[in-house]
């Protein structure tokens, strides 16, 4: 259900030590933010960190022909499983269609229903909806997700709706309630989402009561 949206190897490793994620999503901005010049080696480092989990790698070129060439390079260096993130643009749709028979395609930067449906027609099997970016420009991401899921179920499309671009736990909850199959979140949001002060206080009380009654920190010391 959850993926990590990051290209920081240490942050990914730390998050996966405690939480369970289905994989990792990256994009050119997240990759560039790490200030590494060895793009392919960076991809390999992320894959070593996540093991058999899926990595979503975004193509960077502006034309379909160059996207196809990039896909060939990635196929020669990246280990499966991985999916190619391709933007829902004029050139992106063409690249999706050309690559769908040999690669798993995830249409990214989707902000409208027609974009989502054209991406599906072009061969995408994951539709990445930009939730916060839509909200910040006055669009309605949750309505898009609901409509897309309804159409997918009516037509029996074998797709996954992946929510992305989140700034709060509330946005994540709303995206899942609207019908997202999965969401990708930053490592920083993971702590906010999965760790709650009330739970921590309750557990501390349990621990104090156990230690007071049994004079031990755990059953191992009994």
Task: Give the residue among 52, 5, 45, 49 at the shortest CA–CA distance from 25.
Answer: 5
Among candidate residues 54, 85, 149, 182, the one labeled active-site is 85
Task: Give the residue among 3, 84, 81, 13 at the shortest CA–CA distance from 45.
Answer: 13
Question: Which residues does 180 contact at the CB level (< 8 Å), separation at least 6?
Answer: 129, 145, 161, 162, 163
CA–CA gap between residue 198 and residue 80 (Å, rounded): 40
Structure tokens at 115: 């974009």
Catalytic residue list contains 85: yes
DSSP 79: P
* For the chain, the helix, strand and coil percentages under 3-state DSSP, each to the nearest 5: 55, 15, 30
Residues serving a catalytic function are: 85
């Amino acid at each position: 259900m959850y993926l990590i949206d990051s290209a920081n190897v240490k942050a990914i490793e730390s998050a996966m030590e405690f939480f369970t994620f289905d994989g990792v999503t990256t994009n050119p901005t997240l990759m560039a933010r790490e200030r590494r010049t060895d793009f392919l080696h960076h991809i390999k480092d992320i894959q070593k960190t996540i093991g058999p989990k899926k990595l979503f790698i975004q193509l960077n070129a502006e034309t379909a022909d160059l996207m196809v060439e990039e896909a060939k390079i990635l196929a020669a260096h990246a280990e499966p499983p991985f999916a190619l993130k391709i933007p829902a643009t004029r050139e992106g749709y063409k690249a999706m269609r050309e690559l769908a028979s040999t690669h798993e395609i995830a249409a990214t930067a989707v902000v409208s229903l027609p974009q989502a449906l054209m991406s599906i027609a072009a061969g995408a099997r994951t539709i990445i909806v930009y939730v916060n970016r839509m909200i910040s420009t006055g669009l309605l991401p949750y309505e898009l997700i609901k409509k897309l899921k309804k159409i997918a179920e009516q037509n029996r499309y074998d797709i996954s709706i992946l929510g992305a671009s989140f700034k709060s736990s509330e946005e994540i909850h709303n995206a899942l309630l609207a019908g997202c199959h999965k969401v990708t979140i930053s490592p920083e949001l993971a702590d906010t989402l999965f760790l709650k002060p009330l739970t921590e206080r309750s557990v501390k009380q349990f621990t104090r009561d156990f230690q007071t009654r049994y004079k031990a920190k755990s059953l191992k010391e009994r």
